[in-house]
Structure 1
Amino acid sequence: MTVQKSRLDFPWKAPPAAGEVTEVTKGLLWARLPLPFRLDHVNVWFLEEDDGWTVIDTGCATPEILTVWERLLAGPMRSKPVRRVVATHGHVDHIGLTGWLVQRFNADFIGTFAEWVWARLSHMHDVPGSSATHHSYLVRHGFDDEDAGRLVQSRRRFIDLSSQIPGWITEIRSGDAVRLGGREWRVIVTRGHAFEHASFFNEESGILIAGDHILPRISPVIAVYEMMPKADPLGDYLDSFPQFDGIPADTLILPSHGLPYRGIHQRIAELRDHHRLRLDATASFLSNPSTALELSREMFPHIEGPDNIGFALGETLAHVNYLVARNIVEERLDDQGRTIFALRR
């Protein structure tokens, strides 16, 4: 979801090439991995330890990404072992190769409990009832049976983009202090884009490893999913921002997508404004009652393909549910069993 051009400071004008790294500061390296999605890359971070490396995020399991990883391990990482694998959250582009790295190096796996559970469930082929639940959710929000079936099958391909998620985890919680790469990092856990997204702040070096939570050019996907259809992730996301009030304005933000930047409070203000405008647009469109699918096509008129319309539906419902929770929008079932949303009069 694109937002307006900002006035942020970008210390680097370009990312490192595939298989190469940029030194952010002593002992902290930045690499970029290609992704097979519309969002075509993810940034990962390497912190040098006395006995190897800590890796923050991993990319997903594609031949191209595995090739880049082998180049990184043999080149900039100097064939030193990976001792810890840290997941900012459980989406496949961040956690997909965690199992591969953990198994290869007998590494520790660090992350939040909810994101570990999310990843375990969302990358299993045989979760009982999951496909039927997803199908009925799509039909309820405006898809016909045939299109809903195609979308259910399309999303299942994401399952194969992950290595096996480790069966155990070293849990971190908000406020914890973790020592990585010879520095102490404060864990900041937020909701909205994910259930327990972890960012890491080191005050001494003035660096925040922000994951997907505060991206420089786009808003992260804030979406409703079928397992929690009444959730209010946008409310959670907007409510998370005060957790960053104490972060100094000149802190270097290391995002998972886009380029590192300075200007966190400016960026948060932009994200708040962006979602306020989207909420206003949602309410305006709902002066004419509609299903979430009809509304998503109004809100995202250029979206094509089953995966993208699925993401658009989830983001649309995040804005609708926010308005429903605040009694601005009401919902009802029509005679076909579809949910209809309308602005309250």
Structure 2
Amino acid sequence: MGAVQPPVAAQGRSFIPAQFWPWPRALGDTRDSPVRIEVGVPVEMAEDVFLLRLPLPFALNHINVYLIREDEGWVLVDCGVDTAESRAIWERIASRISPLNRIIVTHHHPDHIGLAGWLAERFDAPVSMTAGEYAVAGRYSDPDRDIIAERFPLWLEHGLSKERSTALLAHMPRYDEQVSHLSADRVGFIDPQQPVRIGQRLWQPIIGQGHAPDHLSLLDESGALLIGGDQVLPTITPNIAVWPGGDQNPLESYFRSLDRFLGMPADTLLLPSHRQPLYGVAARARQILAHHDDRLRALWEACADWTNACELLPALFGRPLRDAEMGFGLGEAIAHLNYLEGRGCLVSDLDGNGVRVFRRCAISTIDQGSPS
């Protein structure tokens, strides 16, 4: 959703109920790790745990992946998108990370799984991920489907014109162009109920929803380290969007998933997929909740009369969206509107052109809280 500054939590009235965000709602502080990160240069974040930053050909121009040293060899968490530039980095450090004992993928998005197949063949390594993420990756890579074209009716329903929807098809990233082929016989599934032994540490899987259906984070048994993937990110928020055939209320699913992070100690080091590692996971999770509460309020206030999701994009983002941003942003707007409708804060209907429009309900339907 872009860079965020944590807003002040609403006092006394909130669009996020206490079951997802308990009172009192003091946000707390985070503290960046002072480590200096350079693209293509592994840096040790904790004993035997190294961060490697890889380039991305997007506005968000990097991903952090993690190499964990074992007695004999390494385990890799996430892989980067499949580009010649990233492959060259892996080739340059190949001798330093051999043997590669296993590849773990947090979720199906191209910047995380993109090079998994190529690396698995290059290092003769197995790949581990959750069953739900593998299933989605399989659908997205199915040559008999056009996942992007399947979104066309959704865009039309929510107010994007046929002309703009047609133009958007050309701007949305194509999965098969960013993700290398991953052989099924290379893949094993992670049991979310069982700890994962990597090197000298035992890691507890934490499964989250909203950003992806079965997103994997890993918390080491001491609570000192969290490999967070995209579930909790510093300074930005993960894209929470509605897609055809997926979760139709992903924002509520995301709020439920943050519960595991709200109780983490202040000295847990978050190793995120993007931006700078930080201390204060629970505080960051609360800041993200406050951000979404603020955006939900902005949408609710903008729905004084019947309005569609496309018309509401300025209220949600505060700036114009271009190219692929429109596809991701519209999906995120729909997610916020579906959440508000599910909470009884909005109602929706189809107008005479078959476009879904939303209008707010009385303020009394919004959950009341106990201000801190």
Give the structure-2-normalised TM-score.
0.86
* Distance of 1:173 and 1:335 partners within structure 2: 49
For residues 49 and 43 of structure 1, do their structure 2 counterparts lie closer, same or farther at Cα, with a shift above 3 Å needed?
Answer: same
Name the structure 1 match of 2:78.
57
User: In 2, are the aligned partners of 1:173 and 1:189 still within 8 Å (CA)?
Assistant: no
1:1-20 alignment, distance < 5 Å: 1-4=2-5, 7-15=29-37, 17-20=38-41
Q: Per-residue deviation at 1:189?
A: 0.4
Q: Give the alignment partner of residue 85 of structure 1, picking from 72, 97, 103.
A: 103
How far is the alpha carbon of 1:336 from its aligned partner? 1.1
Question: Does 1:227 pair with 2:227?
Answer: no
Who is 2:230 aligned against? 212
Q: What is the aligned counterpart of 2:58 among 31, 37, 41?
A: 37
Q: Which amino acid aligns with 1:172?
A: I
Of 137, 146, 169, the residue aligned with 2:163 is 146
Shift, 1:340, TM fit: 1.0
What is the SS of the residue equivalent to 2:168? helix
**What residue in structure 2 maps to residue 98 of structure 1?**
116
Higher normalized contact order (CA 8 Å, seq sep 6+, divided by chain length): 2
Q: Per-residue deviation at 1:43?
A: 0.2
Deviates more, 1:154-163 or 1:322-331: 154-163
- Tell me by how many angstroms 1:156 deviates: 4.8
Q: AA paired with 1:4?
A: Q
The alpha-carbon distance between structure 1 residues 65 and 318, as it changes in their structure 2 partners (threshold 3 A), is same
Structure 2 residue aligned with 1:119: 137
Match of 1:273 in 2: 290
Deviations 1:177-214 (A, max 9, x none): 01012211000101111101111011337111111111
In 2, distance between residues paired with 1:285 and 1:123? 38
Partner of 2:21: none
Preserved contact between residue 30 and residue 43 of structure 1 (Cα < 8 Å): yes
> Partners in 1 of 2:144 and 2:99 — Cα distance?
34
1:174 corresponds, among 192, 197, 207, to: 192
* 1:42 Cα deviation from its structure 2 partner: 0.3
User: Could you report, residue by residue, the CA deviation over 1:272-299 in whole angstroms, capped at 9, with x for unpaired residues?
Assistant: 1111101101101111221111112332
Map of 1:299 onto structure 2: 316
Q: How does 1:154-169 map to 2 (within 5 A)?
A: 154-168=171-185, 169=187
2:17 maps to which residue?
Answer: none
Q: In the alignment, which of 235, 241, 266 is matched to residue 249 of structure 1?
A: 266
Residue 200 of structure 1 pairs with residue 222 of structure 2: no
Show the counterpart of 2:88: 67
- Contact 1:133–1:227 (CA under 8 A) maintained in structure 2: no
Separation in 1, partners of 2:340, 2:357: 14
CA distance in 2, matches of 1:79, 1:9: 30
- The equivalent residue for 1:290 is 307
Separation (CA, whole Å) in 1 of partners of 2:148 and 2:269:
42
Distance 1:205 1:290 in 2: 46
Q: CA–CA distance in 1 between the matches of 2:197 and 2:43?
A: 22
Task: Indicate conservation of the 8 Å contact 2:173/2:324, yes or no.
Answer: no
Gaps of 5+ in 1: none
Change (3 A) 1:14 1:251: same
Number of equivalent positions? 339
Q: Please tell me the root mean square deviation across aligned C-alpha atoms, in Å.
A: 1.8
Query: More deviation in 184-193 or 233-242?
Result: 233-242
Over the matched positions of the two proteins, sequence identity in percent amounts to 35
Q: Is the 8 A contact 2:346 2:361 kept in 1?
A: yes
8 Å CA contact retained: 2:262, 2:283: no
Aligned residue for 1:240? 257
Q: 1:166 to 1:297 in 2, by over 3 A?
A: farther
CA contact (8 A) 1:11 1:260 kept: yes
1:294 is paired with a residue whose SS is coil
> How many angstroms does 1:175 deviate by?
3.2
CA distance in 2, matches of 1:21, 1:147: 42
- What do residues 75-123 of structure 1 show as CA deviations (whole Å, max 9, x unaligned)? xxx2512121101111110000001111222211111111111112223
Give the secondary structure class of the aligned counterpart of 2:79: coil
Measured in 2, the distance between the counterparts of 1:117 and 1:303 equals 34
AA matched with 1:45: Y
For the 8 Å contact 2:74–2:97, the answer to whether it is kept is no
